[in-house]
Amino acid sequence: MNTHPIPLTDTQLAEALLNALEDHVLPLTRKGVAAGNKIFGAALLRKSDGSVVLAETNNETENPLWHGEVHLLKRYREVEGLPPPEDLIFLSTHEPCSMCLSAITWAGFDNFFDFFTHEDSRDSFAIPHDLKILKEVFTLDPGGYRRANAYWTARSVAEVILGADAAAQQRLRARVDAITAEYAALSDAYQQGKAENAIPLR
């Protein structure tokens, strides 16, 4: 597949990804969690300048397929006038599950970036389903799928920050810590209320 490069430096890209999380995804996720949904969200950014064109959050209380990523892709097709996938960066708060990996692929994106890993989802957020499905359905151990393949290349936000200017590292890491702390609090809220919702895999 023809991939379209991202012209931003890693410093610019890290800033853009963190801006998207802080200013676009988290405000939606605070409301989503208050309504009984999981903490996972996603956003689309322009490759050209890192600006956010659309963000969404998990909406499994409406439909268990509305993971943050798939909910975003559904909305992406509903909103008119957005750039084509080859011009966009796909950001996922958490490493996408097998459904979302496929959805990102079928939707035509040549990249995605994730903030937390599958192991974080299992160990820090008590959501083991991503790794369990990969093992049960696909016989894959953690890390067993290809992060760089013919369709797309995946990078973690942590990897992008490692590539950023030395002068920016401390500031970027402080923002990562604050975002991580907020997700821990949102996760606690979700876990405390989850027995009352009707999501199949809670």
Q: Which one among 24, 38, 67, 94 touches Zn ion, defined by CB under 5 A?
A: 67
Angle of CA points 55, 110, 140, to nearest 5°: 95
169: which 2 tokens? 């590292």
Which region, judged by CB under 5 A, interacts with Zn ion, from 15-23, 60-68, 79-87, 137-145?
60-68
CB of 171 to Zn ion, least distance (A): 31
**CA distance readout (Å), 155 to 29, 67, 132, 175:** 22, 20, 22, 18
CB of 56 to Zn ion, least distance (A): 12
Q: By C-beta, is 42 or 157 nearer to Zn ion? A: 42
Q: By C-beta, is 38 or 155 nearer to Zn ion? A: 38
CB of 136 to Zn ion, least distance (A): 15
Q: By C-beta, is 51 or 102 nearer to Zn ion? A: 102
According to DSSP, residue 154 is labeled: E
CB of 125 to Zn ion, least distance (A): 13
Residue 89's closest CA among 13, 180, 10? Answer: 13
Q: What are phi and psi of 153, to 5 degrees?
A: -120, 130
128: which 2 tokens? 């083991």
Which region, judged by CB under 5 A, interacts with Zn ion, from 63-71, 77-85, 147-155, 160-168?
63-71
Site size toward Zn ion (CB under 5 A) is 4
126: which 2 tokens? 């008590």
Kindly state whether residue 42 participates in binding Zn ion, applying the rule CB under 5 A: no
Site string for Zn ion, 85-124 (x = CB under 5 A): ------------x-xx------------------------
**CA distance readout (Å), 197 to 33, 41, 109, 172, 194:** 11, 19, 32, 36, 5
Q: By C-beta, is 67 or 155 nearer to Zn ion? A: 67
Half-sphere exposure of 40 (CA within 13 A, CB side): 32
Which residues in 132-191 contact Zn ion (CB under 5 A)?
Answer: none
Q: Give the binding site for Zn ion (CB under 5 A).
A: 67, 97, 99-100
